[in-house]
Amino acid sequence: MTKTTQTKITIPYLWRKKEKKEKIVVLTAYDYPTAQIIDQAGVDIILVGDSLGMVVLGYPDTLPVTMEEMLHHTKAVTRAVKQALVVADMPYLSYHFSPEVGVANAARFIKEARADAVKIEGATPARLKLISFLQEAEIPVMGHVGLTPQSIRQLGEYRVQGKNISQAKRILQEALELERAGVFALVLESIPRELAQIITQKLSIPTIGIGAGPDCDGQVLVLHDMLGLTANISPKFVKKYLDGQHLFRQAIEQYVREVKDSQYPDENHSYHLNTHSSDQLIRELTTLIEEEEEN
Ligand code: KIV
């Protein structure tokens, strides 16, 4: 199904896409101009990921990201988006302690930042309980299993999850429990293709893969990774659609050269008065300077 009119994408529309085996396209965004471009390009879901911390704010991982930072960037994104479903990532420790605090924080994304849904990582009993509270508050939730970056302190490193049988069984179990708890879609991050395929077949909600192979119902990438703007981080699954670092640097170096060499700004990038006004201005300013000098 192709969307021709600019109507807002809904969760039932995404469910129908899974039924019809049409891929769901997801990208992250963190600001107004890129969200506008992504929305106009026909992406189904824009995720304001807490990857914000690493690709925009320069943190070493996603753990320092705060509610205020996520709200600030989600607001910029929702101001730009007309069509895509906007999902806001709940940052580390904003939903871990009690369902009441989790719901109150999630509600800020919906009420203040105008997001359409929130995403939480993991499937512990407390998270499953939180999801049922969020359902009660009419807040749609996207789940996230496999490699969950907010668990980096426990995991020790960003590595593929579910490579042995017991891990794979646990991830499948988590996916099933999250579906039962009521998530509308599920991110599968950094797991073997075979496992992602089984989970995708088993669930009736859409799976959105990132480093999970080609059989998921949809795909998500971090915008800065696919545009080649992230220098150091390049997981195997990332395809660079642009060498952004190189192209940005080239353009900025040209600007530096042209300003230094007085090539920019030139005539074409300057404002002008018409000849009459210009002559008059020069006369009047000359008089003014002469008067100033006399006094
Ligand atoms: O924060 C993020 O960008 C994410 C995606 C990688 C799924 O959680």
What integer pLDDT is reported at residue 3 of this predicted model? 53
Domain annotation covers residue 281: yes
Nearest CA to ligand 1 atom 8: 49
* Position 90 confidence tier, pLDDT thresholds 50, 70, 90: very high
Domain annotation covers residue 241: no
Nearest CA to ligand 1 atom 2: 49
Domain CATH for 150: 3.20.20.60
Q: What is the pLDDT of residues 225-263, one digit of tens each?
A: 999 999 766 789 999 999 999 999 999 999 999 999 999
Give yes or no: 189 in active site.
Answer: yes
pLDDT higher than 90, residue 276: no
256: containing domain: 248-294
Whether residues 214 and 267 share a domain: the answer is: no
Ligand 1 centre to CA of 51 (Å) is 6
pLDDT higher than 70, residue 1: no
Contact in structure between 117 and 184 (CB atoms under 8 Å): yes
pLDDT higher than 90, residue 87: yes
Whether residues 17 and 113 share a domain: the answer is: yes
What integer pLDDT is reported at residue 4 of this predicted model? 52
Boundary residue ending a domain (174, 191, 226): 226
What integer pLDDT is reported at residue 102 of this predicted model? 98
Ligand 1 centre to CA of 50 (Å) is 6
pLDDT higher than 70, residue 195: yes
- What is the percentage of the chain residues whose pLDDT exceeds 90? 93
Whether residues 222 and 255 share a domain: the answer is: no
How many folded domains does the chain comprise?
2
**What six digits make up the tokens of 39?**
């929305």
Whether residues 125 and 202 share a domain: the answer is: yes
CA distance 295 to 280: 23
What torsion do the CA atoms of 94, 73, 146, 195 make, to the nearest 10 degrees?
Answer: 140
28 pocket-lining for ligand 1 (C-beta < 6 Å): yes
| Active-site residue, selected from the candidate residues 189, 253, 293, 294 | 189
52 pocket-lining for ligand 1 (C-beta < 6 Å): no
223 pocket-lining for ligand 1 (C-beta < 6 Å): no
Ligand 1 centre to CA of 263 (Å) is 43
CA 35 to centroid of chain Cα atoms: 8
User: What is the three-class DSSP state of 136?
Assistant: helix
Whether residues 278 and 214 share a domain: the answer is: no
